[in-house]
Structure 1
Amino acid sequence: MSTTIDSLKWRYAVKKFDDNKYLSEEQIQTIKEAFNLTATSYGLQPVSLVVIKNKELQKQLVEHSWNQQQVAQASHVLVLCVPKEHTAKDVENYFKLVKEIRNTPDEILNPFRDFLMDSFSKKTQEELLAWNKNQAYISLGNLLTVCALEKIDSCPMEGFIPEKYDEILKLNEKNLQSVLVLPLGFRAEDDYMKDLKKVRKNISQVTLDIN
C-alpha cells in the first residue's frame, strides 16, 4: 500500500488535541505554501488563510465554535476566508501578476481577461460568494491531505458562527468573511477516536469505471 494511502488512513477528525504539543515554524510554513499552491478556478485565488497561534484568542473562539474544545487545544487554528465583496479589480490584479511573473504579451492575455471581466460583471455578489466558498472547500481538501502526509493532525469545522469570528478577528476591516475553520496539532493519547477503524463504503460503491 502506498505511503499516500497509509497517510489518509491515519488521518481522522481529531476530537481531542494534546495542548502541550506545538507545530514547528517549518511545519506551519509547509501548510502556508501548500495553501498558496492549491488549485482554484481560473487561478484567481479568492481564498485567504488566517493562522492563529494565541491560546487566549483560541479560548475566546470556543464559545463561537459550538463549544468544540479542539479550537482551544490545538497548536494552531486556521480560518479560511473569502472576500465580502469581490470586484473586477481582483481580476485585474490577477492579470497584472500573470504579466509580472510570465511576461505574457497583452494580445494573449486580453481575450481571457475580457472574458473573465464580462463573466464577473454579470454575477451578483451572492453568486460570487457561493463561487468563492467552493474555492475555500477545495483549499480545505488540499490542506487535509497535506496535513495527513506531514503527520499533522487536524479537525475540519463548519460548526462555528462566522459573524462572531469575523468580529473577533477583525476580518470585516480586511473585506473578508470566515467560511471554514481547521484546528491543527497533535492527537491526544486519550482521544477516544484515535484507534477506531475508519468507516468508509466499499470502493466499488463509490467509484464507476468507464472503459
Structure 2
Amino acid sequence: MASNTIKKLQWRYATKRFDATKKLSEGKLDILKQTFNLTATSFGLQPLKMVVVSNPSIKEKLMSFTFNQPQVRDASHVLVLCIEKEIDANFIVDHFKRVEDTRNTSREILEPYEKDLVSSFSEKHALEIRQWMVNQLYLTLGALLTVCAIENIDSCPMEGFEPENYDKLLGLAEKGLKSVIVLPVGYRDETDFFSNLKKVRRGVEELVIKFD
C-alpha cells in the first residue's frame, strides 16, 4: 500500500486550469515562503529570491508574456523564482556574517572558509556562476513542488515565458535579479481534464540502479 506521501505525489500534476475563485490562505502561502527559505543550496549562499504576485492586473499582464497560458491569470498566486544578477565578494562576506550572528561562531573559525570561497568565486567565469545559481534555483523548485503536493496545493512549473518582459514589468533588474522559472499555485478547476489522468513514468525498476 502506498504511503500518504506517495499518494500526495501521485495526486500532484502540472495543473492546466486553476479555479480563479479559490485563493491560498496566508497560512498556506507562508508555508511556501518558508519552504523557499529552508531549501538546501550549495554553501548555504541562497543566490536567489522569490517574487509573489497576487495582483489580478499584474497577473493579466504577465499572462501575455507567458504565451497566454491562463494558469498565470487564474492561479491564486504566481511565484516568480529569480537568481541574483551576480555574486561578488560582498555577497559572500554577508553570508558569513549571518553565520557568525546566528550561530555565534568565531571569526577565527569562519575566516579561512570565507577567504577560500571569495577566492574560488573570483576565479569563476560569470556564465559558470550563473549556471550554478540556476542549479540552486531548481533545488528550490523541487522542494516547492513536493511541499505543494503535501499541502494539497496545485502548481504548474513553467519555463515557457519571456524573462526580459517579466523582469521589466516587475522591476527585477533594479533589484539585482533575473527571473528563471514561473510557478503559478492555487487550486485546480474541477473541469481540468488532465487532473484525472494517470501519471506516465518510466518506473522505479527502470530508473533506480541498485548495488546490494
- Is the TM-score greater than 0.5? yes
| More displaced stretch, 100-109 vs 152-161 | 100-109
Query: Separation in 2 of the partners of 1:100 and 1:60?
Result: 41
Q: Tell me the residue number matched to 1:193.
A: 194
SS at match of 1:209: coil
Displacement after TM superposition at 1:114 (Å): 1.3
Q: Does 1:58 align with 2:49?
A: no
Q: Tell me the residue number matched to 1:43.
A: 44
Q: Tell me the residue number matched to 2:169.
A: 168
Q: Tell me the residue number matched to 2:120.
A: 119
Displacement after TM superposition at 1:62 (Å): 0.8
What is the one-letter code of the residue matched to 2:208?
T
Displacement after TM superposition at 1:10 (Å): 0.4
Query: Separation in 2 of the partners of 1:133 and 1:109?
Result: 26
What is the one-letter code of the residue matched to 2:199?
K
Displacement after TM superposition at 1:112 (Å): 1.1
Displacement after TM superposition at 1:191 (Å): 0.5
Aligned pairs, number: 211
Deviations 1:45-76 (Å, cap 9, x if unpaired)?
A: 11100011111100101111121110001000
Query: Separation in 2 of the partners of 1:17 and 1:82?
Result: 27
Q: Tell me the residue number matched to 1:74.
A: 75
SS at match of 1:68: coil
Query: Separation in 2 of the partners of 1:5 and 1:205?
Result: 18
Query: Separation in 2 of the partners of 1:111 and 1:205?
Result: 44
Query: Separation in 1 of the partners of 2:125 and 2:162?
Result: 24
Q: Tell me the residue number matched to 1:140.
A: 141
SS at match of 1:60: helix
Deviations 1:89-121 (Å, cap 9, x if unpaired)?
A: 110000000000001112211121111011100
Displacement after TM superposition at 1:85 (Å): 1.9
Query: Separation in 2 of the partners of 1:71 and 1:202?
Result: 31
Consecutive unaligned residues in structure 1, runs of 5 or more: none
Query: Separation in 2 of the partners of 1:34 and 1:84?
Result: 22
What is the one-letter code of the residue matched to 2:15?
V
Query: Separation in 2 of the partners of 1:105 and 1:183?
Result: 42
Deviations 1:18-48 (Å, cap 9, x if unpaired)?
A: 0000000000011101110000000001110
Tell me the percent identity: 51
Deviations 1:131-190 (Å, cap 9, x if unpaired)?
A: 101111111000000000000000000000100000000001100010000000000000
1:21-40 superposed matches below 5 A:
21-40=22-41
